[in-house]
Amino acid sequence: MHPLQCVLQTQRWGPLASVSWLLLRTCRALSSLPSTAYPSPEKQQEDGVQKDFSSRLATGPTFQHFLRNASAPQEKPDMEDPPPYVTVEELLGRQRKVYLETYGCQMNVNDTEIAWSVLQKSGYLRTRNLQEADVILLVTCSIREKAEQTIWNRLQQLKALKTKRLRSRVPLRIGILGCMAERLKEEILNREKMVDILAGPDAYRDLPRLLAVAESGQQAANVLLSLDETYADVMPVQTSPSATSAFVSIMRGCDNMCSYCIVPFTRGRERSRPVASILEEVRKLSEQGLKEVTLLGQNVNSFQDSSEVQFNNAVSTNLSRGFSTNYKPKKGGLRFAYLLDQVSRVDPEMRIRFTSPHPKDFPDEVLQLIHERDNICKQIHLPAQSGSSRVLETMRRGYSREAYVELIHHIRESIPGVSLSSDFIAGFCGETEEDHLQTVSLLREVQYNMGFLFAYSMRQKTRAYHRLKDDVPEEVKLRRLEELITVFREEATKANMASVGSTQLVLVEGHSKRSATDLCGRNDGNLKVIFPDVEMEDINNSDVRVRAQPGDYVLVKITSTSSQTLKGHVLCRTTLKGSSAYC
Ligand code: 5AD
Ligand code: SF4
């Protein structure tokens, strides 16, 4: 199948299938309600409703119909006009206490904040104590088999909690949110009868309604994927008030369709949040005193805000040299370079990072901006996945090893001192020993500062599942993974050694977990830096001696390193602007 066809088919049939499934589930859940609330199928038949439905079905919904129904704003719960089968009181949560548990990536941490923001507005209370909870929601991950297994195991524990619940308390409700809800849908409800609600990544606005339906003892689900839901107007609630940094979601979904990856199927099509709402959130975080934001998305640098009509020009995306996409080039809109520029202007004392980018979208203007702007961290995550061009092709990554290495050189020339990290998969379908050695040699050649390494895990629905064979034995995958980890550590240690004797700007996070007499923070490259908690000079006021607090910038002279951490002694408290002369 042509790659484009593949993407279009997902758009055409994937979510549509979800629509009908959603309706089916909701009808089943509602069929036990009084007939005044919702007529039974038999009653519908009598009324001729079914006949009308059949005739409508014959004409079939159009694609436009799907787009309309899939768009998020229609999913917003309307408190003044609730659906006929739930009361306003039920929608308003009755002060039930919600316990949220997050698994997986940083996107899920952000999604947890969005889900909580929706529920808080609906009158729910938050608890950090599992025993106290009336509602337990797990925000789940599907990227690898192991991530899902963790959730199945957790559900067994929660089952015990539910069955042991005292009759004097309101029944405990359990919900599965996020990627696993989207991927497994009815399998979860059928296998685990104790699960009350399912909400896919684009259905968090619907949580109050789903929970209201669950109040009647029925299972409820919404796994609709949307083409435009970005939760732009749902300001995530900062869960840790003492935090120095925050994640700001700028886009959702992914159109890349790498052959091994489930994300396009669980999180849907790529869509960007309007620039204005991102800037508003960053401004708020700056006013709250936060010192670092990380722009978040599956493909942050493919950002394209087309919400402002005047920017919908015909200019195509500027891809990195030697890179291609699995989809038609995108045109127009406000791009990542513009967003990064705007975000970095909000507060010069606020550090800006972004994750996760795709190597294809690094035009010179983005690299130039990172180089020029003091508060944009000189740190780039460049997921390679493999060092073998042959494997990269079967992964459908859209680049060869040579193009990737050329990009690395170009980035290092454009941003001297840049810190690089990457993701790699060991044991992908058809990976030979020779392919594996090429990945080892790429790790040696690039000498990354940080790495995220995984054994390949076959995922249903993906192209690799349908077209390729998961033929690398598990023990070989694990052995190759071990080898990659060892090589990565050796090279990272060497790379970090080069920083001994240098002065680094560190954003203080708090005390080190290992020692109450040490402080811990992160340098520009996002590496952990540990240093003794002692009095120091303040660069802006030489009359006083201060102790660094979370959120302070300090200069640290590096004295020793490992593959993961730097150690040193603190020189003074400073500001981000004031530090440029020293680092
Ligand atoms: N198996 C193993 N690792 C995977 N990743 C994505 N899908 C899979 C899979 N099926 C890894 C990739 C990606 C990171 C987030 O997870 O390296 O960059
Ligand atoms: Fe998955 Fe590839 Fe999209 Fe990353 S770019 S989320 S690996 S499909």
Q: Which atom of ligand 1 is nearest to the CA of 260?
A: 10
Q: What are the residues facing 316 on neighbouring strands? A: 331
Residues 6+ apart with CB under 8 A from 289: 551
Distance 211 CA to ligand 2 centre (A): 32
Element (DSSP H or E) covering residue 517: none
- 325's tokens: 């996409």
Mutate to test the pocket of ligand 2, among 269, 303, 358 (most ligand atoms within 8 A of CB): 358
- 397's tokens: 């990554």
Q: How far apart are CA 470 and CA 394, in angstroms?
A: 12
What band does 278 get if pLDDT is binned at 50, 70 and 90? very high
For 240, what's the count of Cα atoms within 13 Å in the CB-facing half-sphere?
11
Q: How far apart are CA 218 and CA 42, in angstroms?
A: 20
Spans of all domains in the chain:
88-222, 245-497, 502-574
What band does 581 get if pLDDT is binned at 50, 70 and 90? confident
Q: Which atom of ligand 2 is nearest to the CA of 358?
A: 5
Q: Is ligand 1 within 6 A of the CB of residue 425?
A: yes
Question: Which ligand lies nearest to the CA atom of residue 259 in the structure?
Answer: 2
Q: Which residue has the higher pLDDT, 65 or 111?
A: 111
pLDDT at position 241 is: 58
Is the bond leading into 388 cis (omega within 30 degrees of zero)? no
Distance 357 CA to ligand 1 centre (A): 14
With CA atoms as reference, report the closest residue to 484 among 527, 526, 438: 438
Q: How remote is the C-alpha of 66 from its chain's centroid?
A: 26
The residue type of 321 is R
Q: How far apart are CA 350 and CA 319, in angstroms?
A: 29
- 194's tokens: 């104790």
The residue type of 341 is D
In Å, what is the CA distance from 120 to each residue of 227, 330, 491, 547?
25, 37, 46, 37
Q: Which atom of ligand 2 is nearest to the CA of 262?
A: 1
Q: Which atom of ligand 2 is nearest to the CA of 264?
A: 8
Q: Is ligand 1 within 6 A of the CB of residue 304?
A: no
101: helix, strand or coil: strand
67-113 pLDDT, tens digit per residue, is 333 433 334 444 556 677 777 777 777 789 999 999 999 999 999 99
Question: Which ligand lies nearest to the CA atom of residue 484 in the structure?
Answer: 1
Count the Cβ atoms, other than its own, within 10 Å of residue 43.
12
Count the Cβ atoms, other than its own, within 10 Å of residue 135.
24
Residues 6+ apart with CB under 8 A from 169: 134
Which runs of consecutive H residues, i.e. helices, occur in 415-514?
A: 433-446, 463-467, 474-497
Q: Which residue has the tokens 């059928």?
A: 190
472-483 pLDDT, tens digit per residue, is 999 999 999 999
Q: Which atom of ligand 1 is nearest to the CA of 455?
A: 2
Q: Reply yes or no on whether the pLDDT at 166 is more than 60.
A: yes
Mean pLDDT of the chain: 85
pLDDT at position 92 is: 75
Q: Reply yes or no on whether the pLDDT at 117 is more than 90.
A: yes
Let me know: does 396 contact 463? Beta carbons within 8 Å: yes
Q: Which atom of ligand 1 is nearest to the CA of 464?
A: 10
Q: Is ligand 1 within 6 A of the CB of residue 459?
A: yes
What is the pTM for the complete model shown?
Answer: 0.84
Q: Which residue has the higher pLDDT, 260 or 90?
A: 260
pLDDT at position 186 is: 83
pLDDT at position 239 is: 58
pLDDT at position 316 is: 66
The residue type of 551 is G
Q: Is ligand 1 within 6 A of the CB of residue 349?
A: no
Residues 6+ apart with CB under 8 A from 41: 27, 31, 50
Q: Which of 29-38, 117-126, 164-173, 543-552 has the lowest mean pLDDT?
A: 29-38
Q: Reply yes or no on whether the pLDDT at 15 is more than 50.
A: no
| Of 2-6, 299-303, 485-489, highest mean pLDDT | 485-489
Q: Which atom of ligand 1 is nearest to the CA of 385?
A: 17
% the chain with pLDDT above 70: 83
Q: Is ligand 1 within 6 A of the CB of residue 265?
A: no
CA dihedral 44, 47, 49, 51 (to 10 degrees): 110
432: helix, strand or coil: coil
Distance 398 CA to ligand 1 centre (A): 16
Q: How far apart are CA 107 and CA 298, in angstroms?
A: 8
Q: Which atom of ligand 1 is nearest to the CA of 452?
A: 17
324-342 pLDDT, tens digit per residue, is 888 777 778 999 999 999 9
CATH superfamily of 245-497: tm_1862 like domain (3.80.30.20)
Q: Write the residue with the smallest CA distance to atom 2 of ligand 2.
A: 258
With CA atoms as reference, report the closest residue to 118 among 138, 91, 149: 91
Q: Is ligand 1 within 6 A of the CB of residue 183?
A: no
Q: How far apart are CA 550 and CA 521, in angstroms?
A: 8
With CA atoms as reference, report the closest residue to 212 among 49, 67, 78, 406: 78
Mutate to test the pocket of ligand 2, among 258, 260, 265, 320 (most ligand atoms within 8 A of CB): 258
Question: Which ligand lies nearest to the CA atom of residue 455 in the structure?
Answer: 1
- 537's tokens: 């000079």
Q: Which residue has the higher pLDDT, 295 or 80?
A: 295
Element (DSSP H or E) covering residue 513: none
Q: What are the residues facing 136 on neighbouring strands? A: 99, 174
402-446 pLDDT, tens digit per residue, is 999 999 999 999 999 999 999 999 999 999 999 999 999 999 999
Q: Is ligand 1 within 6 A of the CB of residue 428?
A: no
Q: How far apart are CA 170 and CA 560, in angstroms?
A: 56
What band does 44 get if pLDDT is binned at 50, 70 and 90? very low
Q: Which residue has the tokens 């896919």?
A: 200
Q: Is ligand 1 within 6 A of the CB of residue 454?
A: yes
Sheet holding 450-455, edge to edge: 379-381, 419-426, 450-455
Q: What CATH fold (topology level) applies to the domain 88-222?
A: Rossmann fold (3.40.50)
Q: Is ligand 1 within 6 A of the CB of residue 429?
A: no
Q: Is ligand 1 within 6 A of the CB of residue 179?
A: no
Residues 6+ apart with CB under 8 A from 146: 457
Mutate to test the pocket of ligand 2, among 183, 298, 385 (most ligand atoms within 8 A of CB): 298
The residues lining ligand 2, judged by C-beta closer than 6 Å to any ligand atom, are: 254, 256-258, 261, 263-264, 298-299, 358
Q: Classify domain 502-574 at the CATH class level.
A: mainly beta
